[in-house]
Structure 1
Amino acid sequence: MRRICVYAGSSPGSDPAFADAAAALGAEIAARGLGLVYGGSNVGLMGVVADAATAAGGTVIGVLPSVLQDKEIAHRGIADLRIVDNMHERKLAMIELSDGFVTLPGGSGTLEELFEVFTWQQIGLHRKPVGLLDVNGFWQPLVALIDHIVDSRLLRREHADRLLVDADAASLLDRFESFDPPVIDKWMDRASGPTSA
């Protein structure tokens, strides 16, 4: 692995532990000699992880759509800030630049980014690790929902288990290093073929 993409909230959130975890993650990525790829903002948990990686001597690439640059949230303290035309270009660039994806606490945009790379992994568009940094149990309701989706036979257990969940940044990145998923068909119950109207 060369670079880790971090998805994170553009707000700090209600729990100070969120920012502490973001800072620890940024520092850990830099300490391993890995680059950080993130959304290019200077606000919220996004700004914290970028600042921590930079302070620890890491390489940081920020990818920001021009519409957000105009709102003056572009991080001018990183050496490599790439401005793209729209959100779709931003997400694609972040995926292409990265060898793994860590998701910190965040809102709807963070969830969108997470599920896009998680789905792409399932259908074989990439074989990169995807993980949740579970700060103070923040992601446990989502883990429970995923278990419910598995129980409803809408997601294979083997695919659900590829979403790595860990409360410790170093442990999560260790698991990234050994990630080697088997190739498994995404679709279930296809023996009967498509139904006709």
Structure 2
Amino acid sequence: MPTIALSGNRTDITNPIQKIRSFLLGELVSSGWEISNSYGDQIITLDNIELKIQEADAFIFMPNAQIEDIFYAVSIFVGYQTLDPDLKGKPAVILNTDGSWDLLFELLDQLEIFGTIRQSYRKFLLHSKEPKEALANLSYAARIGIPDSGRKKIISKPTLSFETPLPTVTKSKVCVFCSASMDVEDYIEDGYALGKLLADHNFGCVSGAGTTGVMGSVVQGSVEAGGWTAGSNVPHIIEIEGLPKGLSSFWLRPDIYTRMEVMIERSDAFIIFPGGAGTVQELLALLIFKQSGNPLMAGKPIVLFNRIDKKLQVPFWGKLVTLLNNLANKELFTVVTELEEIIPTLDQLF
């Protein structure tokens, strides 16, 4: 019997949503589905999300979206983008009867315009406004399958982990979350400049160990300036992106969640640079840890670089900041708008 996972938990279920949930449970069970989280008593965290994805054959995201639900949904989309084998053939439907998912959709729409999302997320996360539409979308997706993300493998065997000790002059290790797909010149230049700035100011640079886009330029900037440069990645992403040259340390992990965890564990601060769905996912994971008091994030600042996009003349992360206003304490992160502000801000926050 296939299993479908429903999002949401008891603390965020109001009466109208409880009626919707009850209706869906009846329809799904009668259609032969086994239900995961039927009572809304499970909360998704970075520690358990991989297991929840492996156990499920499909997903329905419920109204009254909370930060954990949005992290869950974005993670599913990122898995589709990166050819995660645990998501092969598993459809995802978002039931948005109350408009609580609208701000996420607005953010993802804007990231598509910026070019940091190359796939149409609406083809992967099927938007439904009514319960019957959600069931119809689920049936449709189960029948036709998941769309092709358009990405192909370029290598077959990822490298093993390796480690180089930190230089004694290193002040702290700073993790940069950013886009591996953005190829606009001024963003690439900013990425390279950030990597160089970190090295020049004796900050170690941690990243997702990507070779392309802004991420590749951050790594290159740090490496070419002689900085200690580390990163983590997973086999199925390495197979489609490869690994950058010059890394001081590399931590191979089996999935994107243990990848995020080792990057969080081995970093002292975080910079959220222009990015796509993966960068949103990573920031949400940091904020969930912060809000829950997880010791992995104790005393570790988050700096959000909200530069103006030169073409559109709007803040790159404007839609993200609006989304977070409804989800997270504003004191959990610091927003800067100029590249030159990042290093002084880190120095102040440590």
Task: State TM-score, norm by structure 2.
Answer: 0.46
For the residues of structure 1 that align with 2:301 and 2:224, how far apart are their CA atoms? Answer: 26
How far did 1:82 drift? 2.3
Once the two structures are superposed, the pairs formed by residues 104-143 of structure 1 within 5 Å of their partners are: 104-125=273-294, 126=297, 127-136=299-308, 137-143=315-321
Tell me if structure 1 keeps the 8 A contact 2:211–2:241.
Answer: no
Tell me if structure 1 keeps the 8 A contact 2:306–2:318.
Answer: yes
For the residues of structure 1 that align with 2:199 and 2:234, how far apart are their CA atoms? Answer: 25
Q: Which has the higher contact order (CA 8 A, sep 6+)?
A: 1
* Aligned with 1:167 (options 333, 337, 343): 337
How far did 1:167 drift? 1.9
For the residues of structure 2 that align with 1:46 and 1:84, how far apart are their CA atoms? Answer: 18
1:61 is the counterpart of 2:61 = no
Gap change, CA 1:108 and 1:72, over 3 Å in 2 = closer
Q: Write the deviation string for residues 63-121 of structure 1: whole angstroms up to 9, x where unpaired.
A: 11111222252113323222221111110110011000101111111100011112211
Tell me if structure 2 keeps the 8 A contact 1:30–1:58.
Answer: yes
Moved over 3 A (4+): none
Where does residue 195 of structure 1 map in the other structure? none
* Aligned with 1:94 (options 259, 263, 273): 263
Q: For the aligned residues, what is the CA RMSD?
A: 1.8
For the residues of structure 1 that align with 2:291 and 2:339, how far apart are their CA atoms? Answer: 24
Once the two structures are superposed, the pairs formed by residues 9-20 of structure 1 within 5 Å of their partners are: 9-13=179-183, 15-20=184-189
Tell me if structure 1 keeps the 8 A contact 2:210–2:241.
Answer: no
Q: Give the paired residue count.
A: 171
Tell me if structure 1 keeps the 8 A contact 2:175–2:269.
Answer: yes
Q: Which runs of 5+ in 2 are unaligned?
A: 1-170, 309-314
Greater shift, 134-143 or 31-40, is seen at 134-143
SS in 2 for 1:98: coil
How far did 1:135 drift? 2.2
For the residues of structure 1 that align with 2:275 and 2:290, how far apart are their CA atoms? Answer: 21
Q: Write the deviation string for residues 33-78 of structure 1: whole angstroms up to 9, x where unpaired.
A: 0100000111111100000011111110011111122225211332
Where does residue 186 of structure 1 map in the other structure? none
Percent identity of equivalent pairs: 27
* Aligned with 2:208 (options 15, 26, 39): 39
1:144 is the counterpart of 2:319 = no
Q: Write the deviation string for residues 103-144 of structure 1: whole angstroms up to 9, x where unpaired.
A: 111111110001111221122222310121112120122222
Tell me if structure 2 keeps the 8 A contact 1:75–1:81.
Answer: no
Where does residue 176 of structure 1 map in the other structure? 346
Greater shift, 73-82 or 41-50, is seen at 73-82
Task: State TM-score, norm by structure 1.
Answer: 0.79
Gap change, CA 1:170 and 1:97, over 3 Å in 2 = farther
The structure number with the bigger radius of gyration is 2
